[in-house]
Structure 1
């Protein structure tokens, strides 16, 4: 990252969440309370901007209203069907994109993965590969290997993903996931 690049509002919020998970050094609590006040103010400003962007314009009879959140897919993820997984594993059904999250901390991986899935979904892709790594160093299970499936149940991911399964051995095995993205609204099956 360039030294003179400023953090965006979302990056500041993310950093604030990381900073709150630490303990302040003795005598530094005043600086931490200032940081908390600044982050709360920034977070409120970002929420106001998002609310302003989502403010509906008046609709005429010719303009259909945007679909409500209740019409989004429920977000219940099912395992991939066995024939689909077999076709992907054998290369008969193409993986349209892949992302490798090796070497990233969870906060970075979360943002990058969400951005990747949103762009893939917007492009109408259906099957992608997410490589988390096995994380078997020093006897651990792997933070991303455990975290990514949990993220998929969060609201920001839920409407993007239809299903996911561990990948075949030659695609990364337990250290990777086949992800089926949900169809875009209005897209025919």
Structure 2
């Protein structure tokens, strides 16, 4: 990585001085102050703008296939495994569900559990599509972005006896 030139460093210092941290709580968030117009030095003749990078692949989400041997796959598909821990998200709002998943996975990893049953629930019949299954729709993204994503081997749909389409198996990696 190259070092900033004197004029670039001065410009960067002006930008940093205008930054205000945002509060995550909307009630305490203050409106941002209007920024002063900054004078940007004209580009030098020898300046070549950096080439735009090729778009990066989106961050990988937790794998839903692979990562397990045939024995695990067979037992999961036949429902012959007993979950070590159950995280039930019934009655949770979207924000609370994320916290419950994070806390439940942390506890499962700390206690050495291998199989977590994550119950998202079936969507209510007749609910409009926007209202239906918001937690279920967000679960894969949450697991992929979670601080525990490195410990997750795979995520599979649960067998009918464990909730079918309203639940997921989260298989955790073996601790070494």
Instruction: Name the TM-score, length of structure 1 as normaliser.
Output: 0.55
Aligned counterparts of 1:159 and 1:114: Cα–Cα separation in 2: 13
Structure with larger Rg = 2
Aligned counterparts of 1:139 and 1:86: Cα–Cα separation in 2: 36
Aligned counterparts of 2:136 and 2:61: Cα–Cα separation in 1: 21
Per the alignment, do residues 103 and 133 of structure 1 end up closer, same or farther by CA in structure 2, a change over 3 Å counting?
A: same
Query: Per-residue deviation at 1:86?
Result: 3.1
Per the alignment, do residues 95 and 157 of structure 1 end up closer, same or farther by CA in structure 2, a change over 3 Å counting?
A: same
Aligned counterparts of 1:129 and 1:155: Cα–Cα separation in 2: 17
Alignment gaps of 5+ in structure 1: 1-15, 21-31, 38-73
Aligned to 2:84: 96
Aligned partners of 2:75 and 2:81 also within 8 Å? yes
Aligned to 1:59: none
- Cα-to-partner distance string for 1:137-156 (whole Å, 9 max, x where unaligned): 41334111101111011042
User: In the alignment, is residue 149 of structure 1 matched against residue 137 of structure 2?
Assistant: no
Aligned counterparts of 1:126 and 1:101: Cα–Cα separation in 2: 19
Aligned counterparts of 1:160 and 1:106: Cα–Cα separation in 2: 23
Aligned counterparts of 2:72 and 2:86: Cα–Cα separation in 1: 17
Aligned counterparts of 1:134 and 1:100: Cα–Cα separation in 2: 12
Per the alignment, do residues 183 and 75 of structure 1 end up closer, same or farther by CA in structure 2, a change over 3 Å counting?
A: farther
- Cα-to-partner distance string for 1:46-67 (whole Å, 9 max, x where unaligned): xxxxxxxxxxxxxxxxxxxxxx
Aligned to 2:114: 126
Higher helix share: 1
Aligned counterparts of 1:163 and 1:151: Cα–Cα separation in 2: 14
Alignment gaps of 5+ in structure 2: 1-22, 31-59
> Which of 110, 114, 118 pairs up with 2:102?
114
SS of equivalent to 1:153:
helix
Runs of 4+ deviating beyond 6 Å: none
CA RMSD of aligned residues (A): 2.5
SS of equivalent to 1:36:
coil
SS of equivalent to 1:102:
coil
